[in-house]
Structure 1
């Protein structure tokens, strides 16, 4: 009887159950929303403010958001670095990097101040903390929400000491509803699986995952985000988006210039760490992931992690490496400036479909694109070779953002069976004239202010990507794989064409996207190209 009484007293009464709020019965994801409080007192701390990254990317991105009204009215940007600068010296240094009229630049620069201090001592952090507290005093008095965004425009090697300084001295955010603190960190996040995990452990002891925003700026590109919408909002794509219809997928990054003075950095990392392991793998995840339960950031990232974990480590025979002569790279360096890698996803949707990731510097063109090539049409009754008349979906990320679908159509005229390749074409420049497509950095910084992590890399996602490439990177570092020379301005080493052929890629004969910028042999101005002929018709 006593036991029954005790059990009854431990159970909530019906009245207590009825008083529980709905929020307590929902998961965190169900209650999630992102946005910016209208009266938010926002302070953005740019650590490394005197450096090249801050001047080239961070401050121009913040200016873009400020000019277009995306930042709250009460916003201040505090630079922090070891270099001794006054507020005016910082502003003079930044001014040439900014856009707009003198007044527009002055309006933005008026929000920018500077604190000089070391990364490994208390004095500088105490000065920064005093500036933060003084700035937020009025908001604290009025119980207004405060937001602190720490942007680490610094090498990852100093992340632990910088985050420790911020955590120890600068994290006393006023306690009120809607207040928050977030940290943006830049890549490269480690150089292999072990170093990445060590860095993650150090930062994880200071800041929980929900406060860490790991930037991969390709996730902020307009077309990367459009790929997600296009895949999951259009019914016609769903039936063909699998191994039964898709032959191969290429994800390509090409630059028509070398390291541009970054030879020392590039010699330490190489093209795989610099581009493929992060940027191109993120694009692969968007191409191959399953539809998430919702657009909650963790629902999206859960699906990305699942598909990355289905990819086996790279085999040596599925890799081609190349190097171009670059005077800024140390003599005798074997660090690749070009790599083509074939990956396979071992799941029901993609088993057997090659995904070729290709990236290189000093090539014949500048572009980044995703090319999904379908299998040839069975029982092709129109003459010609169906292998060279395949459907392709192309998502062009840069330059000249576009999405186009190559289709086989009848060539105009009286002939009855002459076929050609044309395209359903979304050219952003023509479809949205006058619309400014921002750089990736403004979008990602705005997402961080809003509290939306879907375009930032989660720790388990980072771990899965490094696990795919770490064995290959160790083989490259040890010099166990050949590195093929290629001339400046070429398509890269010829061995890469053999890799593409093994993956089943077939180049559509005599076709080029009509809006592409001139390169090499020039561009056809026609939007329809002959790919085959009907019986008895002259070949055009």
Structure 2
């Protein structure tokens, strides 16, 4: 029996879905079965499309989600190449991508590539967008589709500068021709502006062309397995409910670390910096899921309503609760100005002014060229009152959610050290995905989010008022950096970042554990 996604707006219907039972899973997977779906990748010859968009589409195809006869993929870009030339450029990223040795999927790769047709043209060329529409329509007609069963998904793997122009072309020449159940949806990549003013301008330009239900602002962090697990952890487990508040939690860290620098992207990165690139979107989205109240239901709008409430409760950032850094050698990149004030590292303390979180610092930290690569959430609990075992010096209880790599959740807790003596040691209760879910392939974030777009589920996409609230938090700080009022401190590549950042962590209440190191069982 066909099942329609309950979250889809009434004016749009997703493709017909069916349930398939797999022998190794107790749940079911919805797959596209009927209808005509055209996926159009704009910027098809660029790095983002080759490295992320097309591999994600291929993985969905391999899993059976895009194997209906009604599915076709179109590429559009300025590069003048043939269908076969585009396929050749993409092939290497599919053959050697995640999911198995090169020879395993060669037949699937060939079949998938045959779904792709290419149209070249500039992003303001009316005649080329008319041609694109003609090719899409030709495909739709060839499938003898019924009225209302045509769907068009436009993925903008493009610089935000050209979003308004491209969206005007789509609106004028490439919209779905059926008004009774068919749909047109637009996926746009970050960054969504550079500050509040530019983001609002872009939102207005796109909002004049499309309804909010048609716009999918993608933040790939919301597609990560452990990020998607946050709501389940918080609201489906009884023992977290009484603990998750200011009475028990001392501080929360949300950390993103990379052990490499800008590596050829210096010119692009220097235009944005670490706060625009990581804080305003990825880390803030994670903060919302950690801090939000329980939504009325799992409907996308109810979840996004609660996220907006969190953002609107964040107090203005204090300059004394910010540490910026720039790694030594960053300005050696010929594409980076010698006088660049762009931070490659930042630690920022956010404070949420509501009953649950008053007094609890949320410490956001991200940087490049550091001593490790990881992303994690670290919830540090308050000290145990009446410390009869004198174990306070060993460290506090912490609940750590390792987002990447080596996905895991573990609780640091004090236990008796094995032996005859009554001595204590810090250990952990550990759920490491590589060990617990052996043989289970964790989907890439882009796979999940593209599938959500096809289904019409906007839960993991950024709503316009959510975007505005996020920029309101960081725009004053960004302007102080842009005006040179705040300067990044130098730090050595391969270090933890500026030592002042650790001082700020200590002032905010974080107590570092010495002598304990979590080791992933999968290593």
The TM-score, its normalising length taken from structure 2, stands at 0.91
C-alpha deviation, 1:447, in angstroms: 0.6
Determine if contact 1:341/1:356 at 8 Å carries over to the other structure.
Answer: yes
Q: Secondary structure at 1:265's aligned position in 2?
A: helix
**CA shift in 2, pair 1:98/1:27, >3 Å:** closer
C-alpha deviation, 1:517, in angstroms: 8.9
**CA shift in 2, pair 1:112/1:33, >3 Å:** closer
Q: State how far apart, in whole Å, the 2-side matches of 1:226 and 1:35 are.
A: 26
Q: State how far apart, in whole Å, the 1-side matches of 2:249 and 2:12 are.
A: 36
Matches within 5 A, 1:85-96: 85-96=81-92
What's the counterpart of residue 276 of structure 2? 273
C-alpha deviation, 1:188, in angstroms: 0.3
C-alpha deviation, 1:28, in angstroms: 8.6
Q: State how far apart, in whole Å, the 2-side matches of 1:436 and 1:123 are.
A: 43
Determine if contact 1:41/1:136 at 8 Å carries over to the other structure.
Answer: yes
Q: Secondary structure at 1:240's aligned position in 2?
A: coil
Matches within 5 A, 1:338-417: 338-384=345-391, 386=392, 388-415=394-421, 417=422
C-alpha deviation, 1:30, in angstroms: 11
C-alpha deviation, 1:238, in angstroms: 0.6
Determine if contact 1:364/1:490 at 8 Å carries over to the other structure.
Answer: yes
Q: Secondary structure at 1:293's aligned position in 2?
A: coil
- Give deviations 1:393-447, integer Å, cap 9, x for gaps: 00000000000011111111222x3111111111000000011112111111011
- Give deviations 1:445-471, integer Å, cap 9, x for gaps: 011011110000000110011000000
What's the counterpart of residue 311 of structure 1? 314
Q: State how far apart, in whole Å, the 1-side matches of 2:205 and 2:357 are.
A: 36
**CA shift in 2, pair 1:250/1:45, >3 Å:** same
1:213 has 2:216 as partner: yes
Unaligned runs of 5+ in 1: 1-25, 519-540
What's the counterpart of residue 7 of structure 1? none
1:153 to 157, 176, 188: 157
Deviates more, 1:323-332 or 1:44-53: 323-332
The TM-score, its normalising length taken from structure 1, stands at 0.88
Unaligned runs of 5+ in 2: 1-5, 18-32, 96-101
Q: State how far apart, in whole Å, the 1-side matches of 2:522 and 2:291 are.
A: 29
Q: How many residue pairs are counted as aligned between the two chains?
A: 490
C-alpha deviation, 1:126, in angstroms: 0.6
1:41 to 36, 40, 47: 36
Determine if contact 1:337/1:360 at 8 Å carries over to the other structure.
Answer: yes
What's the counterpart of residue 198 of structure 1? 201
Q: State how far apart, in whole Å, the 2-side matches of 1:506 and 1:34 are.
A: 49
What's the counterpart of residue 250 of structure 2? 247
Q: State how far apart, in whole Å, the 2-side matches of 1:91 and 1:28 are.
A: 33
What's the counterpart of residue 99 of structure 2? none
1:83 to 74, 79, 82: 79
Determine if contact 1:405/1:424 at 8 Å carries over to the other structure.
Answer: yes
What's the counterpart of residue 108 of structure 2? 104
- Give deviations 1:127-168, integer Å, cap 9, x for gaps: 001111111114565346111100000000100000000000
Q: State how far apart, in whole Å, the 1-side matches of 2:354 and 2:15 are.
A: 36
Please report the RMSD computed on the Cα atoms of aligned residues, expressed in angstroms: 1.9
Q: State how far apart, in whole Å, the 1-side matches of 2:483 and 2:296 are.
A: 43
Determine if contact 2:432/2:521 at 8 Å carries over to the other structure.
Answer: no
Q: State how far apart, in whole Å, the 2-side matches of 1:207 and 1:229 are.
A: 32
What's the counterpart of residue 20 of structure 2? none
Q: State how far apart, in whole Å, the 1-side matches of 2:409 and 2:244 are.
A: 16
What's the counterpart of residue 538 of structure 1? none
- Give deviations 1:221-263, integer Å, cap 9, x for gaps: 0000011211110010010100010000000000000001000
C-alpha deviation, 1:124, in angstroms: 0.6
Determine if contact 1:115/1:128 at 8 Å carries over to the other structure.
Answer: yes
- Give deviations 1:44-79, integer Å, cap 9, x for gaps: 000111111111110011001001112251211100
What's the counterpart of residue 18 of structure 1? none
- Give deviations 1:301-358, integer Å, cap 9, x for gaps: 0000001100022111110000012232332211000000000000000001000000
Q: State how far apart, in whole Å, the 2-side matches of 1:28 and 1:218 are.
A: 22
What's the counterpart of residue 12 of structure 1? none
Q: State how far apart, in whole Å, the 1-side matches of 2:39 and 2:9 are.
A: 27
Q: Secondary structure at 1:49's aligned position in 2?
A: coil
Determine if contact 1:36/1:449 at 8 Å carries over to the other structure.
Answer: no
1:425 has 2:420 as partner: no
**CA shift in 2, pair 1:316/1:235, >3 Å:** same
1:167 has 2:184 as partner: no
C-alpha deviation, 1:512, in angstroms: 1.0
What's the counterpart of residue 69 of structure 1? 64
Q: State how far apart, in whole Å, the 1-side matches of 2:369 and 2:16 are.
A: 42
**CA shift in 2, pair 1:87/1:34, >3 Å:** closer
Determine if contact 2:292/2:306 at 8 Å carries over to the other structure.
Answer: yes
Q: Secondary structure at 1:247's aligned position in 2?
A: strand
